[in-house]
């Protein structure tokens, strides 16, 4: 399979368009595979379209292709293999201890395939993107190709992606935002996956920018998005 490519982001938007955060959001990005979501975030940051900095990349395997993007961007990275830990809790503790050491404010799951136990101090600070419109086609066993095949088998007319906070159940935390895409009559799992991923490249940075701007408020299961701050009141020009 060829390495995925991305269009270069446009020039940096004005503060009025982007609603700049007062300071960059410190991220730890967790990967297991190609790292195409990590690459997309790094491109957005470099282009001034996402007020964030990747402080750390954590991989569940030393073979993850995405580690190359961390090396190229000179981002510190570490590998934690699940087999090296006696339990999920021990594994999770190692991952989040390293995230704390990196002073990460938000942990981004970017194709990370190992289940984690979310500690209390990271409640509503871990985000994930799921390649369907939660609560449809989600939960244990629904990942990658399996999601898109299930959408086609059901005959759904819409699919898409969901950015949500992560709790200790699969694809269950409060939804931050969703983007829908059509399901076409001649779709295969591969063509639908490509269309959904195109939506993901917009949705994930958009959600992280909202978090960076402190516009995301969690009220039980509901996520409320505060209106943007006027540039004249934000303290930045």
Whole-number pLDDT of residue 192: 98
Whole-number pLDDT of residue 141: 85
Whole-number pLDDT of residue 204: 98
Distance CA 138, CA 175 (A): 13
Q: Which tens digits make up the pLDDT trace of 34-75? A: 999 999 999 999 999 999 999 999 999 999 999 999 999 999
Find the catalytic residue in 20, 130, 148, 164: 130
Whole-number pLDDT of residue 143: 85
- The answer to whether residue 8 scores a pLDDT higher than 80 is no
Whole-number pLDDT of residue 18: 52
Q: Higher model confidence: residue 235 or residue 145?
A: 145
Q: SS3 breakdown of the chain: % helix, strand, coil, rounded to 5?
A: 35, 20, 45
Distance CA 53, CA 26 (A): 5
Q: Selecting from 3.40.50.170, 3.40.630.30, 3.40.30.10, 3.40.47.10, what CATH number does the domain 128-226 have?
A: 3.40.50.170
Distance CA 89, CA 100 (A): 16
Contact 116, 95 (CB under 8 A): yes
Three-class DSSP category at 42 = helix
Distance CA 64, CA 237 (A): 40
Q: Where are the beta strands (DSSP E) in the chain?
A: 25-31, 52-59, 77-79, 106-109, 126-130, 158-165, 175-182, 216-219, 222-225
Distance CA 132, CA 136 (A): 7
Active site residue 130: yes
Averaged pLDDT for residues 149-159: 98
Whole-number pLDDT of residue 163: 98
Q: Would the pTM count as exceeding 0.85?
A: yes
What residue ranges do the domains of the chain occupy? 24-122, 128-226
Three-class DSSP category at 225 = strand
Q: Higher model confidence: residue 232 or residue 45?
A: 45
Domains 24-122 and 128-226 share a fold: yes
Averaged pLDDT for residues 15-22: 63
- The answer to whether residue 13 scores a pLDDT higher than 50 is no
Assess if CATH 1.10.3720.10 describes domain 24-122: no
Averaged pLDDT for residues 23-36: 97
């Amino acid at each position: 399979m060829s390495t995925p490519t991305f269009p270069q982001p446009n020039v940096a938007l004005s503060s009025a368009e982007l609603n700049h955060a007062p300071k960059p959001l410190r991220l730890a990005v967790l990967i297991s595979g190609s790292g195409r979501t990590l690459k997309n975030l790094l491109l957005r940051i470099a282009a001034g379209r996402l007020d964030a900095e990747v402080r750390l990349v954590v991989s569940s395997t030393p073979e993850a292709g995405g580690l190359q993007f961390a090396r190229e961007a000179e981002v510190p990275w570490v590998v934690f293999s699940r087999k090296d830990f006696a339990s999920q809790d021990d594994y999770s503790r190692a991952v989040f201890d390293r995230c704390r050491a990196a002073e990460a404010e938000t942990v981004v799951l970017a194709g990370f395939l190992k289940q984690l136990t979310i500690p209390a101090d990271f409640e509503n600070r871990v985000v994930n993107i799921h390649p369907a419109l939660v609560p449809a086609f989600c939960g244990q066993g629904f990942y990658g190709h399996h999601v898109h095949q299930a959408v086609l088998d059901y005959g759904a007319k819409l699919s898409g992606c969901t950015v949500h906070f992560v709790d200790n159940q699969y694809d269950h935390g409060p939804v931050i935002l969703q983007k829908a895409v059509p399901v076409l009559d001649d779709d295969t799992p591969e063509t639908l996956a490509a269309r959904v991923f195109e939506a993901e490249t917009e949705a994930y940075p958009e959600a992280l920018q909202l978090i960076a701007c402190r516009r995301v408020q969690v009220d039980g299961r509901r996520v409320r998005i505060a209106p943007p701050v006027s540039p004249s009141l934000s303290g930045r020009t």
